[in-house]
Chain A
Amino acid sequence: MSLFEPFQLPFMARALVELVILGVLAGTVGVLVLLRRLAFVSDTLTHTVFPGVVIGYLMAGQDGVFWGALAAGAVTAVLLTVLAHRRRVSEDAALAMVLTSLFAIGVVLVSQRTAFTSDLTQFLFGRILTVTQEQLVQTAVVTVLVAALLAVLRRPLMLRTFDPEGAAAAGIRVGLLDLVMNVAVALVVVAAVQAVGTILVIALLIVPAAAARALSDRLVFIVPLACLIGALGGWLGLAASYEASVYHGLRLASGGTVVLVLVVLYGVAALAGAVRRRVGLSRARLGTPELEMTR
């Protein structure tokens, strides 16, 4: 398999750059999602951005997709934060309702179109190979914004994630911080929507973070590892789908291939993590027997 040759084609190069930036963005936010156990909340966000994408597209065509997604993402981020803090309904049930009803709105809207199936496919699974220069810039801007936001808020975010009561006791405004967190997730979904679609973005968020967590117990390593794994998955996935499509007559959808490669990378990381833990344990047992005794 050729890992470099396909990217001499401009459209493949743009796709690669887009996925590498997305990998870094989703990897960073994904670690927080993982630690806060917000996977389902994030999944809800990916579905609720969908009607925004459809409305944006119907109103302004391809250019409207980003702004439609942004509007829907912002609204849902607020909605989910309020919902989580009120807890009127069981959170899971409430999320499932929000998720499906907004998704249904999107489906109903898109079904008005004559090109129903092809539009739906595009919104759900993205079109990574048609990414434009302008979309690259959008993704890069969102990435810089989110990274800066998380860097500035890293201490309150860490304290809130680890110990919510302690954070509130220390005067941190937990509700506001949760809103920022949900907005960050929404921004990832918005940035990724045209490239990988609303459905597959959840994999970009969760899988690299989970793989990085399996490899390390330290946040200073977990975050860069998640970014690296996300970017690596994008590169290998694109190369694999190109190879299969061009040389073997197998049409592999790029978005789906990227996700599958990420899952394989997770498998490798989980295995490596298990080995590392086993070795670490036996080393601890052999190395410091007197410590065990005094505990």
Chain B
Amino acid sequence: MTQQQDRTAALVLEQASVAYGHVPVLEELHGTVRSGEAVALIGPNGAGKSTLIKAILGLVPTVRGRIEVLGVTPAQARRDVAYVPQADTLDPDFPVSVEQVVMMGRYRKIGWLRRPSAADRALAAEALERVGLSDRAKNRFGTLSGGQRQRVLLARAIAAQPRLLLLDEPFNGVDAVSQHALLEAIALLKQQGAAVVVSTHDLAIAHLACDEVCLLNRHQFGFGPTDEVLTPERLRATYGGHALELRGDRVIVTQT
């Protein structure tokens, strides 16, 4: 790949291997995600999807090959990368309001001491608007439903104005309304030029929201345009031969 093409690449994996200590978790990953594109990370539980996201954040070391984020190393790129954790990993009793959670997305730009400016407040309000939860701004975060909490966390990421957005299983146990709101917000981010990496179990969502798919299970079983990569054969290989059902153009993995 030439330097010229690399310029629009938001995420480049070059024969990258990722390990916790001496234990390799992911090996030989290879692919590119450009600005304005979304890639779905698909694979069974324990395939290393979360680990890859952590590696892109620079929290897990790349032991061989290279991971390049926005043209620099993962650690150097953090300022322009936003991460959306799974909502159900957060303490629902924590005394924090929805708007405070969204404002956390501005912390990096605000710094430690300065008060949030009018511009920071406007960006946070706009981000909350985009996920359709403006009317819940004053509510305590923990009083929202799981899907709504996931949307608030996406709003926090949007408020950070990222060039690369990483989402860890954002659709798990999320109701239809919230799923729709999440997909819309992600689509708008893509339109505005952000690259998106989203891990998911849901192949239909990968079809719907993503241009590319990365099939993962310790190794890479395919990385490329969704239609080319999401084939029954490749899925069977990724999921180790677990049963697959085909329904029209939708592929459903019955056992993960």
**Chain A residues in the interface with B (C-beta under 8 A):** 35, 152-156, 158-159, 161-163, 165-166, 168-171, 213, 216-219, 222, 291, 295
B95 near A166 with CB under 8 A, answer no
**Interface residue from A35, A155, A166 paired with B94 (Cβ < 8 Å):** A35
Give the Cβ gap from B163 to chain A, nearest Cβ, in Å.
Answer: 15
Would you give 30 A-B contacts (Cβ < 8 Å), ordered by A? A35-B91, A152-B112, A155-B107, A155-B110, A155-B112, A156-B107, A159-B104, A159-B107, A161-B94, A162-B90, A162-B94, A162-B101, A163-B90, A165-B83, A165-B89, A166-B83, A166-B104, A168-B57, A168-B59, A169-B59, A169-B82, A170-B78, A170-B83, A171-B78, A171-B79, A171-B108, A213-B95, A216-B95, A218-B97, A219-B95
The 9 closest A-B pairs by CB, nearest first: A169-B83, A171-B78, A169-B57, A217-B95, A217-B140, A155-B107, A165-B85, A162-B94, A219-B95
Contact call A170/B107, Cβ cutoff below 8 A: yes
Contact B57–A162 (Cβ < 8 Å): no
Roughly how many angstroms separate A216 CA and B96 CA in the complex, as a whole number?
11
Contacts of B81 in A (CB 8 A): 169
Cβ B85 vs Cβ A152 within 8 A: no
Q: Determine whether B145 belongs to the interface, using a CB cutoff of 8 Å to chain A.
A: yes
Contact across chains for B112 and A218 when beta carbons are under 8 A apart? no
A95 to chain B, nearest CB (A): 21
Q: Considering only CB atoms and an 8 Å cut-off, how many residues of chain B contact the other chain?
A: 27
Residue in B82, B83, B91, B166 whose beta carbon sits within 8 Å of that of A162 in the complex? B91
**Complex: A279 Cα to B166 Cα, angstroms:** 40
A197 to chain B, nearest CB (A): 30
C-alpha spacing A152/B113, complex, angstroms: 6
A residues less than 8 Å from B140 (CB atoms):
217
Closest to B81 in A: A169
Chain A nearest CB from B126 CB (Å) reads 20
B112 A153 Cβ-Cβ under 8 A: yes
The chain A residue with its CB closest to the CB of B143 is: A217
Residues on B with beta carbons closer than 8 Å to the beta carbon of A222: 95
Give the residues from 52 to 102 in chain B that come closer than 8 angstroms, CB to CB, to chain A.
57, 59, 75, 78-79, 81-83, 85, 89-91, 94-97, 101
Assess A219 versus B96: contact at CB under 8 Å? Given A155-B107, A155-B112.
yes
Q: How far is the CA of A170 from the CA of B107 in the complex (A)?
A: 9
Contact pattern, B 151-165, Cβ under 8 Å of A = 1, otherwise 0: 000000000000000
Closest residue of B by beta carbon distance from A291: B135
CB distance from B174 to the nearest CB of A (A): 14
Mostly helix, strand, loop or mixed at chain A's interface?
helix
Cβ–Cβ < 8 Å partners of A168 in chain B: 57, 59
Write the residues of chain B forming the contact surface with A, with a CB cutoff of 8 angstroms. 57, 59, 75, 78-79, 81-83, 85, 89-91, 94-97, 101, 104, 107-108, 110, 112-113, 135, 140, 145, 166
Tell me whether A156 and B112 are in contact (CB under 8 A).
Answer: yes
B residues less than 8 Å from A162 (CB atoms): 90-91, 94, 96, 101, 104
Do A170 and B94 touch (CB < 8 A)? no
CB-nearest residue of chain B relative to A159? B104
CA distance A169 to B97 in the complex (A): 21
User: A163 and B85: CB pair below 8 A?
Assistant: yes
A166 and B145 contact, Cβ closer than 8 Å, known pairs A153-B112, A161-B94, A218-B95: no
CB distance from B170 to the nearest CB of A (A): 13
With a cutoff of 8 Å between Cβ atoms, the chain B residues found around residue A166 in the complex are 83, 85, 104
| A-chain residues with CB within 8 Å of residue B94 when the two chains form the complex | 35, 161-162
14 additional A-B residue pairs with CB within 8 Å, beyond A155-B104, A219-B96: A35-B94, A155-B110, A155-B112, A156-B112, A162-B90, A162-B91, A163-B90, A165-B89, A166-B83, A166-B85, A169-B59, A169-B166, A171-B108, A222-B95
In the complex, which residues of chain A have a beta carbon less than 8 angstroms from the beta carbon of B57?
A: 168-169
Task: Give min CB distance, B88 to chain A, whole Å.
Answer: 12
The CA of A216 and the CA of B140, in the complex, are separated in Å by: 11
Chain B residues near A153 (CB-CB < 8 A) = 112
The answer to whether A295 and B90 touch across the interface, beta carbons within 8 angstroms, is no
Residues of B within 8 A of A158 (CB): 96, 104
Q: How far apart are the CA atoms of A153 and B145 in the complex, in Å?
A: 30
In the complex, which residues of chain A have a beta carbon less than 8 angstroms from the beta carbon of B82?
A: 169
User: Chain A: which residue is nearest B157 at the CB level?
Assistant: A166
How far is the CB of A255 from the nearest CB of chain B, in Å?
30
B35 vs chain A, min Cβ distance (A): 20
Chain B residue numbers with a CB within 8 Å of A159 are 104, 107
> Are the CB atoms of A170 and B108 closer together than 8 Å?
yes
A140 to chain B, nearest CB (A): 23
Contacts of B112 in A (CB 8 A): 152-156
Chain B residues, CB < 8 A from A154: 112
Cα(A161)–Cα(B135), bound, Å = 26
* A-chain residues with CB within 8 Å of residue B78 when the two chains form the complex: 169-171
Residue of B nearest to A151 (CB): B113
Which chain B residue has the least Cβ–Cβ distance from A161? B94
